[in-house]
Structure 1
Amino acid sequence: MPRHTPRTFLDRLRTPRGIPGFLKTASVCVLIAGLLSPLSTAVAAQGAPASTRTATATAGDSCGGQCSDILPPGENGNATLAQVLLNQVFGTQPEHAEDQLGPYADLATGYPALTDAKINTFFNDASFGVPSGQVASTTKPGGRTDVTIVRDKKTGVPHITGTTRYGTEFGAGYAAAQDRLWLMDVFRHVGRGQLTGFAGGAPSNQGLEQEFWRNAPYTEADLQAQIDGAIASAGDRGKQALDDVNAYLAGINAYIDASDSGRYFPGEYVLTGHKDSITNAGTIDHFKVTDMVALASVIGALFGSGGGGEVNNALSLLAAQSRYGVAEGTKVWESFRERNDPEAVLTVHDGESFPYAGKPADPRGAALPDAGTVAREPLVYDRTGSAAKAAAKSTSGTAGARALSSAKRGMSNALVVSGKHTASGRPVAVFGPQTGYFAPQLLMLQELQGPGISARGASFAGLSMYVELGRGQDYAWSATTSGQDIIDTYAVELCQDDYHYLYHGTCTAMDKVERTNAWKPTVADSTAAGSYTMRVWRTRYGPVEYRATVDGKRVAYTTLRSSYLHEADSIIGFQMLNDPDYVKGPEDFQKAVQHINYTFNWFYADSAHTAYYNSGDNPVRATGVDGEFPVWARQPYEWSGWDPAHNTASYTPASAHPNSVDQDYYISWNNKQAKDYAAAPWGEGSVHRGDLLDDRVRKLVADGGVTRSALVKAMADAGLADLRAEDVLPKLLRVVKSAAITDSTTAAAVDKLSAWVSAGAQRKVTSAGAKKYADADAIRILDAWWPELVKAEFAPGLGEDLYTAMTANLPVDESPSAAHGPTGSHAGSSFQYGWWSYVDKDLRTVLGEPVEGPLAQTYCGGGSLGACRTTLLNTLKEAAGRSASQVYPGDDLCSAGDQWCADSIVQRALGGIKHGNISWQNRPTYQQVVEFTSHR
C-alpha cells in the first residue's frame, strides 16, 4: 500500500491537514497499554455470535458467474477503540477495512491486459450466496431464528437470508450497524444540524451541519410528517415500507445493545466522550424512525437535488448587461449558459426530443435584484468560546463541508451496450455511482434474500433496508446524478419588518427554526469549548437564502425544491427495485424508478434488454416563468397545482422524462440527458466529460463483438484521460503552431504537449506501483497553463467583473490536483466542471471552423488568429517556466512538487481509521460489471 496516509477524523475532510490534538502519540501509547488486554475479548467477539460455517441459501441467479462489483476501501467500517489506536500508531487495519482498496487501485495499471477471465482480479464476484468453502462466519442476529447473516472470507460482505420479511429487515439493520454504526450516527446528526454537539466543534464539523441544515432546516415534526404523509398513504407498499423500516431499526438497536454489553462498539464513541473506556459508562442512543428521514435528507441533498443558483445566475446576467447593454448582454449570457447546446453529448442519442425548462419565448415574473443589494442570509448567531474565535471567517466553506459537497460533484458514470453489439448477443453494462472516497465509505455492500426481496449491491449506510444500486435475480440497475432543475428561487416581498412577507396579498409571519449547539474538547478534537445558534427563516416558498431589493422593494429570496419535505418518499421505488415479483423487464424497471423523486439517471440491463429513465419530480412551471432566474412569489408564477401546506405540485408526466429501451448503447457521465432537455447544470456544451465515454463506446459498438472486459477497458481508459488534453489541447496546438515558434522555451513546451497528445493524453504512471507520470512535464505544463490561458483568453473581452461573475457560475478548472476547483484535490472525480466548451468553441471560431451554438462574441485575441496565438504563447511560456513545486504547492499529505501525490485519491476519514492514498483514476466509487446469461 502507498505510504502516505491522511491524519483526519471528521476534520479537514476536503484536504487532509490533520486535527489539533488528535491522538497524540504519548497518550495513544498509554491508552493502548491500558486497553489492549480488556478489549481483546471484545475485538474477537465483534462478529459474535457465530455458529456453523455453512453456505447461504441462494435465490435464482441468472448471472452465470458474470456479475462483479467493487467498493473501496472495505466492507468493515467499524473499529473498536483498540483497533483505532493501533491503526493510528502502527497503521494496522481491522479485518476487511481496506481489502477492496488494492484491487480497485490496481485497475489503473492493469486494465490494458484485461480479459473476461481476469475481471475478478480487480472486482469481487457478485453472485448470490457464499460457497461453503468461503464462509467466514454465520450469525443469528439478536438470537432470532428467522434470519441468518453469512459473511464471506474474501470481503466480509453480509449475505442476509430471512425466512420472514421482518427477520430479513432485522438482519439488514443488524448488519448495517455491524459495518457502519459510527458513520450512521454521524449522519443522523448532520441531517439534524447537530453534529458539533455530538462530535466536537472542529471547523469542519461546523461546516457540515451548516451546509446541510440550511437546505433542510427540519423540526422533529417535519421529519415525522414525512413518515406520516406520503409513505403512510402509499397503500400496501407504504405499509410494507413502514414495517420494513421498523424491523430494520430493531436490528440496528439490537446491535447497539449487544455491542454495548459486549464492549465492542466503535471506538469513536470513547474518543468523542460518549462512552468511558474503563467503566463503560455512557450510552449510544437507539435509532428511531425520524433518524432515517434525517439520513435521507443528507443523501438527497448530496446526490439527488439538481438546480438552484438562480441568484448567482441573475448576478452574472446583470454583469453581462452592464458590460454590453441589455440586448447584447443577454445574448452573451445565454451563449455561456449553453442551456440547450446542439453540440452537447447526449445519453438518449436517437434524436427523440424531451422538451423541459427551455427559455420561454415571452418571460414573465422575473425578479432580478437591484445592483449591489444582494446579501446572503446569516445562518449563525450568538457565538461563544471557540465559535466566537472562528466568527471572522465563514465555516460554511470549510474543509468538512466542501468534502461532502465534493461528493455531490464527484459524479458517476454508466456504459451500457445492447446485445445487438456484444460478442454473446446479451447486453453488457459497466456502471456505478461516484459517491466520493471516504473511510468508511458512505455506501456499504450487502445481499438481501427474503420474502419479496432478492438483491445484492450497495446501499447508503443507515438506509440499507433495501439494495439501492445493484442486481436482482436476472437484472441489474445503477444511477448517475442527473442534476435537472427541480429548485426555484422566489422573491417574497417583505412587509412590516424583515420577518414578515406578503403571501397572496396578506402580510404573513415567517417561521423561525433554530438549532443551538454547544461542544467541549474531546480526545478526538481539541477545539476549545464553544457554542452557537443556527437560525433559518422559513416561508411557504421555502427557506430564506438571500435578501435584496427588486425595483426598490425589499425582498427575501427563498429556495423551493420539489423534494423539500419529501426526501423519504423515494423508499417505494427502491422497494420495487428489490422485488423480484415486480421487476421482470425494462418497463417494470422504469415504473419502479418513477417513484424516486431524486434527480437521477437510471440504467438497466438484463439478458435481453437495456433501458434508461431520468427520475425526479420536475415541477410544471407557470407559463412564461424562466427557472434560470428568481421570480416573484405571486400566484401567477407559482408551480402548477402547488400546495404550500405539503409542498406538492403538478409534475411533468413520466413520458416527458428522458427515457429509452434498447438503444444501441447508453453512456452517462452526468452529461445532458436528451435533445431539448434544457434543465441542466452549467457546462454541458461541446466538450464534456461524457465525450470521453461516448467516443470510446461508440467505437466499440461500431466494431461489434463488445465484451465485459472491453467495456471495462473503455471505462478505465477514459478514467485516466485528461479531458482538456484529449479534446481541447489539439485546437490550442493548432493555433500556436499556425506560425513558426521562435522562443526555445515555448517550442520545447509545445513539443512535450504534442507528444503527450500523440501518446493518448492520459495521466498514467510509468509502471505498476510507480509514483511518477509517463508524461510528467507535459502534465505539469497544462496544469499550470489552463487557468492562465482561460483568463487571458476571456477576461479582456468580458471585463473583470463579468469574468468573475461567470466563474462563480462555472469554475474554470477541475483537474485532479486543482484544489481551487469545486471538488478540491485528492477527490478522484475530475473534469466535470470547467471552461472546456468555451475554449473549444472560441478557438474553433478563431480557426474558421464550423461551430454550432457559438459564443455570442469571439474572445481569443479579439477574433484575430495572430493576436490569439500571441496570447496563448505568452501564457504558455509563463506556465512552462513554473516549477513543479509552484504548480503543486503541497499540503499535509504531499510534499511540494510531488505531482503524483497531488493527484492521488484519499479516503477522507469520517472515523478513526485511516488508509493510504492511491493513484488517480476517474471512475465510480461503487461499480458493477454485469452480463446476465438467462432470464425468467
Structure 2
Amino acid sequence: MPRRTPRNALDRLRTPRGFHGFLKGASVCALVAGLLSPLSPAMAAGTDPSADRAPEQATAATAGTAANDHCGGQCSDILPPGQNGNATLAQILLNQAFGTQPAHAEDQLGPYAKLATGYSGLTNDKINDFFNDASFGVPAGQVASTVRPAGRGDVTIVRDKRTGVPHITGTTRYGTEFGAGYAAAQDRLWLMDLFRHVGRGQLTPFAGGAPANQGLEQQFWRSAPYTEADLEAQILSAAAKAGERGELALADVDAYVAGINAYIDASDKGRYFPGEYVLTGHKNALTNAGTIERFKRTDLIALASVIGSLFGSGGGGEVSNALSLLAAQEKHGVAEGTEVWESFRQRNDPEAVLTQQDGSFPYLPRPDDPRGRALPDAGSVTAEPLVHDRTGGAGGPAAAGASATAADTAVTSARRGMSNALVVSGEHTASGHPVAVFGPQTGYFAPQLLMLQEIQGPGISARGASFAGLSMYVELGRGQDYAWSATTSGQDIIDTYAVELCQDDHHYLHRGTCTPMEKIERKNAWKPTVADSTAAGSYTMRVWRTKYGPVEYRATVGGKKVAYVTLRSSYLHEADSIIGFQMLNDPDYLTGPERFQSAVQNINYTFNWFYADSERTAYYNSGDNPVRADGVDADFPVWARPPYEWADWDPAANTARYTPPSAHPRSLDQDYYVSWNNKQAKDYTTAPWGNGSVHRGDLLDDRVRKLVAEGGVTRAALVRAMAEAGLADLRAEAVLPDLLKVIDSAPVTDPAAAAAVDGLRAWLGAGALRTETSAGSRKYAHADAIRTLDAWWPLLVKAEFEPGLGSELYTAFTRNIPVDESPSAAHGPTGAHAGSAFQYGWWSYVDKDLRAVLGEPVEGPLAREYCGGGDLAACRDTLVATLEEAAGRTAAQVYPGDDHCAAGDQWCADSVIHRTLGGIKHGGIGWQNRPTYQQVVEFTSHR
C-alpha cells in the first residue's frame, strides 16, 4: 500500500552511518602510517598549492567591489560546518583516526551552535560572534590567498582568513564564471560528482552498493528518469525561449563547466584531489592511476533535478489521498466519510497562520461536483516495481525491500520544507530600515549541500549561498543594496493521472490511440571499495514513461486496468529557473522590489521569495502552477483524457497554461512577513496536510507580531525571536495549554500523574523551550517534563483518535501525515539528529478537537469530536491514563540510543549531527530548529 509519510531523499541519507560509513578505528591508523610517506608533498600536506599564491594581489581585486556595498557592515551570514568541503586522502585518514579537521572544514559550526545558548543576551554589536561578516570584498589584512585559476588574467579568487569563502572577481563575463566553476570545484568537487551520479540514477557504480546508496539513487531517478538527450534538450530549450538572457545563461554554464574541469585537471596533476576518489577506487594513491571524469552541461541539469525534487516540487500523493478517502467512506459512508476526510485534509483552514496577511488568492479550491476522478478499486493498488534482475550485493531480500520503500516514498511523499524567514518593514524598526533574518534549511551534511561565495563581474554582483555544482550565480544571498531568500512553499504542481491500459500492461490510451510506454533503464553494477565493503552486485532500475509522466502504481478503476502516472510542471524543465537566478544577480536589472518580483516569476519551482533593501520589502510565491480543467479535484487521481488535462497542455514539451503572476500570493511592504513552510495566503491551497490551527509558523508569527507592536525592532531582536522559536517545543507552547485545561477539569489524584502535570506546567511557564541548564552542560532544564511529553504525544494522539476513526482509517491518515516530529523522533519524517522538527504532526487536530470538547469556539472544526467521544470527563480520563503511562517510561525507553548516543541520553538524542557525504566527520551540536544557511541583513543606503 502506498504511503504518504513525509519523507524525501534527504531522509535516505539520514542513516546512522551517514554516506557509507568511512574507514574508522585501527584500519585507519594503519592506512595513515602506510600511505602518508609515498604521497606527493602537496597531497600529504592536504593543500592546493595554488591557494597560497600572492595574497598581496588581493587589495586591488577587492577595493572596487566594496565601494558598491550599501550594507554598511550590517550584513551577516552563516553556513555550517565550514566552507571547505574537499579533503585529500591524508586529511580524511587523519580525521578518521584522530578527529583533526582540514582548514575551514568546521569553523562555522561553533558559532552556529553557540547561538542556542547565547541568543538571549544578543546585541547588534555581538551578531558577528555567531555569524560571518557578509560585507563585499576582503580587507587587505584578512586575505588568506589569491588564485588566478588556470593562469587566467581576467579573474581572481581571493579567500579570507576567517572562513575561507571565495571572493571571485572577473574583468570579463567568461572569466568570472570560469572562476566560479573553479572555486566550486575547490570546495565541493566530490559532492558535485556524487550528486551528478545521483541525478542520473548511477550512484552505486560510482560510490558502491551500500543499501543507502541504492535507495538514494532509486528515489531520485524514479521521479526524473531522464535520458542524456532529455538532459541536453532541457538546457537548450531553457536558453532558446529566454532570448538574449538565455544565450548569456548558456555561455555562463559553459564557462562555469570549463572552470570545474580546469580544477579537475590541476588537482589531478598536483595530486591534491579529494581523497574519496581513492577510497572509492577511482584513483590510486600510490601511482595516481585512474581518472576523475570531467564535467559537462548535462551534469548540471542532473544536479538541478535532484535539488528541484528535494525543495521545489510541491504536490503529489493523490493515490494515498484516494486510499484514505476510501477508508473514510468505508467507515462512515460516502457523505459523512467525505466530510471526515475533508476536515482532516484542512485544504483551506481558516485558523492557519498566513505569510501574506491581506487579500485572497484562490488556488485549487475543492470543486462542488468533481469531474474525472479515477479512484482505485478497493485492494487493487500496487506499487510499480523499480528494481529488477538483482544479483549479489548486501542484504538480498532486505535490500530489495529497502528499494521498494524508496520507490514508494519518492514522489507521493510531501516535499520537505524546512526554511524560514522573518522580515520587518522599516516603519517598525529602530533605524527606519527594513530588517530581515532568513535562510533555507537544506539539512545538515558534511560537506554541506550549499556553499558560500561572492561573485563580482560584468553583470553580476552578489554574495551568498548556492547549491554546489549550480553556483554560476548566487541563489540565496545579497546584492549591492538588497538581499533575498526563499522557503519551500509546497503548492501543488504535481498531478496523478490514471492511464487506461490497452493491448497489454505496457500500452495505454493516449487521446484515443493505443500507445506504447517508453522503457527507460539503468543497469548498475558495483564492486567492493575501501570505503564500502559491500559485496559486488548489480541490478536494473526500470521505469515506464508515458506522455503523462512515469508510472508509479498499477490498479483497477471500475474494473478497468490502469497505470497511475505522475506529472509535474517542472518535469523536463529543470533548467528553466536559471533565468530568474541570473536576474537576481544582475545589479543593472534588479533595482527594487518590483524587479525582484519579476525576476522570481521566472523560477518554476515552488518557493516563497522574500526581499529587503534599505527602504522596501517584498514577497512573491513562485512556481509554474498549471491551470486545471474545470471541475478537476487536484487532490485525487483523474482520468488521462483530454477533458481533464491541464489547460493548453503540450505532451511533447510538457508545457501548459499556468496561473498568471497576479494569482500568486505577492505583496509589497507588508508590516512584517514570516514563513516556516506555512500557508501562503487566504484561499491558497497547499499540498501538505496539516496547515491548520497549530503550525510551527505560529512560533515565528507570535514573536514577530509582538516585536512589531512594540516597535523599534533591531537586527538583534529579530535574531533573538528566530532563535527562541528554534528552541521551542511546538506541542508544549501551542497544545499543552489545551491538554492542561482538560486535565484541570477535575482533581488529579494519581501521584505520578500529578507530578507529571506539575512538571509540564512548570516547563510551560518557563517558555516550553528545549534548552540546556547552562552552556555546554548537555542536560536540559525541565528534562523530565520534556521526556514526559515526548513519550506522551504519540500515546495521547492514538488514544484520542483511533477509537472514533477505527484502526484502518487512523492508520490511513497517519500515512498522509505522521503523528509526531519531535527533535529526537527517529521514527518521524526527518529521522534522528536532523535538526528540523515540528513541521508535520497532529497538533492542529488535537488542538481543534480539545477546544471543541471544552466548548470553545473552533473555526474549521473536525467533522466530529473524538476525545472521549466528545464527553469532557471521558476525554480527561483518556488523557490522564496516557499521561500516567508516559510518565512511567524511563529515559532509556523514550530515547533508546543509536550509533551516536547512549540509551537515555536525552540531549544527545535531540542533537544535530552532520551526515557524512564524504570522508570528513564532525561532532554533534545541541538541537536548534533553524535554517542551515542564514542571513541577517539591514541595508543603510540605496543606489
Shorter-chain TM band: over 0.9
**Residues in 1 aligned to 2:656 and 2:24: alpha-carbon distance in whole angstroms:** 54
Q: Structure 1 residues 436 and 47 mapped into 2: Cα distance closer, same or farther (>3 Å)?
A: farther
**Residues in 2 aligned to 1:640 and 1:68: alpha-carbon distance in whole angstroms:** 45
C-alpha deviation, 1:16, in angstroms: 1.9
The residue that corresponds to 1:46 in the other structure is 48
Q: Which has the larger displacement, 75-84 or 352-361?
A: 352-361
The alignment partner of 1:477 has SS state of strand
Retained in 1: the 8 A contact 2:895–2:903? yes
Retained in 1: the 8 A contact 2:383–2:408? no
- Does residue 1:140 correspond to 2:155, yes or no? no
- Does residue 1:61 correspond to 2:69, yes or no? yes
The alignment partner of 2:485 has SS state of strand
The alignment partner of 2:748 has SS state of coil
Q: Structure 1 residues 341 and 145 mapped into 2: Cα distance closer, same or farther (>3 Å)?
A: same
- Does residue 1:891 correspond to 2:891, yes or no? no
The residue that corresponds to 1:253 in the other structure is 261
Correspondence 1:115-126 to 2 at 5 A: 115-126=123-134
**Residues in 2 aligned to 1:138 and 1:508: alpha-carbon distance in whole angstroms:** 59
- Does residue 1:427 correspond to 2:434, yes or no? yes
2:198 pairs with one of 177, 184, 190: 190
Correspondence 1:198-277 to 2 at 5 A: 198-277=206-285
**Residues in 2 aligned to 1:546 and 1:406: alpha-carbon distance in whole angstroms:** 14
Q: Which has the larger displacement, 367-376 or 41-50?
A: 41-50
C-alpha deviation, 1:770, in angstroms: 1.3
Q: Structure 1 residues 282 and 390 mapped into 2: Cα distance closer, same or farther (>3 Å)?
A: farther
The residue that corresponds to 1:130 in the other structure is 138
The residue that corresponds to 2:451 in the other structure is 444
The alignment partner of 2:551 has SS state of strand
The residue that corresponds to 2:35 in the other structure is 35
Q: Structure 1 residues 266 and 553 mapped into 2: Cα distance closer, same or farther (>3 Å)?
A: same
- Does residue 1:694 correspond to 2:696, yes or no? no
C-alpha deviation, 1:35, in angstroms: 2.7
C-alpha deviation, 1:889, in angstroms: 0.4
Q: Which has the larger displacement, 41-50 or 691-700?
A: 41-50
Amino acid in structure 2 at the alignment position of 1:182 = W
1:685 pairs with one of 687, 692, 695: 692
C-alpha deviation, 1:44, in angstroms: 5.4
1:317 pairs with one of 312, 319, 325: 325
**Residues in 2 aligned to 1:838 and 1:753: alpha-carbon distance in whole angstroms:** 21
Retained in 2: the 8 A contact 1:202–1:527? yes
The residue that corresponds to 1:929 in the other structure is 936
Amino acid in structure 1 at the alignment position of 2:42 = T
Retained in 1: the 8 A contact 2:115–2:130? yes
The residue that corresponds to 1:518 in the other structure is 525
Correspondence 1:838-849 to 2 at 5 A: 838-849=845-856
1:712 pairs with one of 700, 714, 719: 719
Retained in 2: the 8 A contact 1:173–1:252? yes
Give CA-to-partner distance per residue, 1:43-100, whole Å, 9 cap, x none: 3541515123233234200000000000000000000000000000000000000000
**Residues in 2 aligned to 1:735 and 1:102: alpha-carbon distance in whole angstroms:** 43
**Residues in 1 aligned to 2:25 and 2:794: alpha-carbon distance in whole angstroms:** 41
Root-mean-square deviation (CA, aligned residues, Å) is 1.7
The alignment partner of 1:672 has SS state of coil
Superposition misfits of 4+ residues, deviation over 6 angstroms = 18-21, 397-407
The alignment partner of 1:85 has SS state of helix
Q: Structure 1 residues 47 and 177 mapped into 2: Cα distance closer, same or farther (>3 Å)?
A: farther
**Residues in 1 aligned to 2:180 and 2:911: alpha-carbon distance in whole angstroms:** 34
- Does residue 1:723 correspond to 2:733, yes or no? no
Retained in 2: the 8 A contact 1:622–1:637? yes
Give CA-to-partner distance per residue, 1:331-374, whole Å, 9 cap, x none: 00000000000000000012x00000110122100000000000
C-alpha deviation, 1:230, in angstroms: 2.4
**Residues in 2 aligned to 1:893 and 1:404: alpha-carbon distance in whole angstroms:** 30
Normalised by the size of structure 1, how large is the TM-score? 0.97
The residue that corresponds to 1:459 in the other structure is 466
The residue that corresponds to 1:297 in the other structure is 305
**Residues in 2 aligned to 1:83 and 1:11: alpha-carbon distance in whole angstroms:** 27
The residue that corresponds to 2:340 in the other structure is 332
C-alpha deviation, 1:399, in angstroms: 9.6
Q: Structure 1 residues 52 and 871 mapped into 2: Cα distance closer, same or farther (>3 Å)?
A: closer
Give CA-to-partner distance per residue, 1:731-778, whole Å, 9 cap, x none: 001101110111001000000000000000010011111100001000
Give CA-to-partner distance per residue, 1:856-898, whole Å, 9 cap, x none: 0100000000000000000000000000000000000000000
Correspondence 1:259-658 to 2 at 5 A: 259-350=267-358, 352-386=359-393, 389-390=396-397, 393-396=400-403, 409=416, 411-658=418-665
Q: Structure 1 residues 404 and 438 mapped into 2: Cα distance closer, same or farther (>3 Å)?
A: farther
**Residues in 2 aligned to 1:426 and 1:545: alpha-carbon distance in whole angstroms:** 50
C-alpha deviation, 1:405, in angstroms: 12
Q: Structure 1 residues 400 and 229 mapped into 2: Cα distance closer, same or farther (>3 Å)?
A: closer
Amino acid in structure 1 at the alignment position of 2:54 = S
**Residues in 2 aligned to 1:881 and 1:29: alpha-carbon distance in whole angstroms:** 45
- Does residue 1:23 correspond to 2:23, yes or no? yes
Q: Structure 1 residues 735 and 769 mapped into 2: Cα distance closer, same or farther (>3 Å)?
A: same
> Percent identity over the alignment?
79
**Residues in 1 aligned to 2:560 and 2:357: alpha-carbon distance in whole angstroms:** 46
Q: Structure 1 residues 733 and 403 mapped into 2: Cα distance closer, same or farther (>3 Å)?
A: farther
C-alpha deviation, 1:32, in angstroms: 1.4
Q: Structure 1 residues 51 and 404 mapped into 2: Cα distance closer, same or farther (>3 Å)?
A: farther
Retained in 2: the 8 A contact 1:683–1:810? yes
**Residues in 2 aligned to 1:560 and 1:341: alpha-carbon distance in whole angstroms:** 27
Retained in 1: the 8 A contact 2:214–2:403? yes
Retained in 1: the 8 A contact 2:55–2:146? yes
The alignment partner of 1:483 has SS state of coil
Give CA-to-partner distance per residue, 1:474-514, whole Å, 9 cap, x none: 00000000000000000000001000000111110000000
Retained in 2: the 8 A contact 1:19–1:525? no
Amino acid in structure 2 at the alignment position of 1:428 = V
Q: Which has the larger displacement, 189-198 or 13-22?
A: 13-22
Retained in 2: the 8 A contact 1:346–1:675? yes
The alignment partner of 1:897 has SS state of coil
Correspondence 1:762-841 to 2 at 5 A: 762-841=769-848
Q: Structure 1 residues 840 and 150 mapped into 2: Cα distance closer, same or farther (>3 Å)?
A: same
Retained in 2: the 8 A contact 1:728–1:836? yes
Retained in 2: the 8 A contact 1:408–1:435? no
**Residues in 2 aligned to 1:651 and 1:585: alpha-carbon distance in whole angstroms:** 25
Unaligned runs of 5+ in 1: 1-9
**Residues in 2 aligned to 1:564 and 1:594: alpha-carbon distance in whole angstroms:** 18
**Residues in 2 aligned to 1:403 and 1:499: alpha-carbon distance in whole angstroms:** 22
The alignment partner of 1:886 has SS state of helix
**Residues in 1 aligned to 2:940 and 2:49: alpha-carbon distance in whole angstroms:** 35
The alignment partner of 1:342 has SS state of coil
Retained in 1: the 8 A contact 2:429–2:435? yes
C-alpha deviation, 1:231, in angstroms: 1.9
The alignment partner of 1:57 has SS state of helix
Q: Structure 1 residues 390 and 129 mapped into 2: Cα distance closer, same or farther (>3 Å)?
A: farther
Normalised by the size of structure 2, how large is the TM-score? 0.97
C-alpha deviation, 1:678, in angstroms: 1.1
Amino acid in structure 2 at the alignment position of 1:838 = Y
C-alpha deviation, 1:410, in angstroms: 5.2
C-alpha deviation, 1:402, in angstroms: 9.0
The alignment partner of 1:862 has SS state of helix
Amino acid in structure 1 at the alignment position of 2:586 = D
The alignment partner of 1:348 has SS state of coil
Amino acid in structure 1 at the alignment position of 2:215 = G
